[in-house]
Amino acid sequence: MSYLIGLSFALLTGLVVIFGDVAIKIAAERSGPGIFGLLGLGCLIYAGSAVLWFWAMRHTTLAQAGVAYSMFTLLALALIGTVWFKESLAMREWAGIGCALASMVLMARFE
């Protein structure tokens, strides 16, 4: 059960970081003084994710939390990039997504 709690916190951390990533991506695509507000918001969101990351690591190993966080973040950012920012995924990126999913399965502890 603790492992699932850790994965849940890793997922939540990933989701929070994604909001920060989106704010920073929007800031990067704009110009003018307004970008600093979005950049600051993105950094503030990143800081909040550190607390969630702490809780993820209390319930699972660092390696498992890292793999779960990376996989969740990779999948969500790939989806946001293709849907919102109209970015395309190359074959190597699809392969990377497959490797991320495989690493999650390999790192899981079914106790």
User: Mean pLDDT across the stretch 67-80?
Assistant: 85
Residue ranges of domains in the chain: 2-107
pTM assigned to the model: 0.67
Please name the residues in contact with 97: beta carbons below 8 A apart, sequence gap of 6 or more: 74, 75, 78, 89
pLDDT digits (tens, 9 = 90+) for 33-56: 888 998 999 999 989 888 988 988
